Amino acid sequence: MFLYLFQNNPSAGIAFLLGLVIGITVHEASHATSAYLLGDDTAYRDGRVTLNPASHLDVLGSLMLLMAGFGWGKPTPVMPSKLRGGVFGPVAVALAGPVSNLLIVAVCGALFLLPTFQSGYLAIVVVMTAFTNALLFVFNLIPIPPLDGSKILFPFLPRALDGFVDFMNQYGPMILFGLIIVSFVTNLPIFNYLLAPITPILSAFGLPPISF
């Protein structure tokens, strides 16, 4: 996606990449900060309570940003046993990442109300940053491990589904990667459906939709 966008519109491509770097950095820093506030200093001691992108970007995930238009940061280390709040502690930490991306979309929506950000390159940066963070918000809420959606949903599933949860925790990353490969190789609109909420989210904050 990034390479295609960069070839057709370099300015939008750079803004797209900038939005993803901002989104991933804030996302992972939010996980780390929320864990620290809830009593787990593991990420803090690892230097992850920071907005320095170098502390959060993953090499392979960054390469995927360039090649496929999506990627991931370094997983934030969390020790659930150290968190306060029982089952809600890990859920709150998992939820902090996607919520931070949605807040960035809200900030972009507020900026887009100002005339300065409604035209020129500033408008492109604001709209693309909103789009990439809406993408991160929706993508991370897909309930397939290791995405945050699974960490938010699985703790509340009935014990009868423990076998399913164990299976997904073991094979979820492979299932997710398989869906990505199948989507690219066959052009099946798998992620078109999974990421469909992006456009309504942008519209809700007064931002124009993005199409490629």
- Across the chain, which has 212 residues, the per-10-residue mean pLDDT values are 72 89 95 98 96 88 65 87 96 98 98 95 96 93 94 96 97 89 80 89 94 64
Question: 28 catalytic, yes or no?
Answer: yes
Phi, psi of 34 (to 5 degrees): -65, -40
The domain ranges of the chain are 2-204
Rounded to the nearest 10 degrees, the angle between the axes of helix 120-140 and helix 88-111 is 160
The pLDDT of residue 66 is: 64
For the record, the structure tokens of 12 come out as: 């939008």
Q: What is the pLDDT of residues 163-205, one digit of tens each?
A: 999 999 999 999 988 888 887 788 778 878 888 999 999 999 9
Q: Which of 13, 16, 28, 104 is catalytic?
A: 28
Q: How far apart are CA 171 and CA 55, in angstroms?
A: 27
Q: How far apart are CA 208 and CA 212, in angstroms?
A: 13
What sign results for the dihedral spanned by CA atoms 203, 199, 14, 104? positive
The pLDDT of residue 2 is: 60
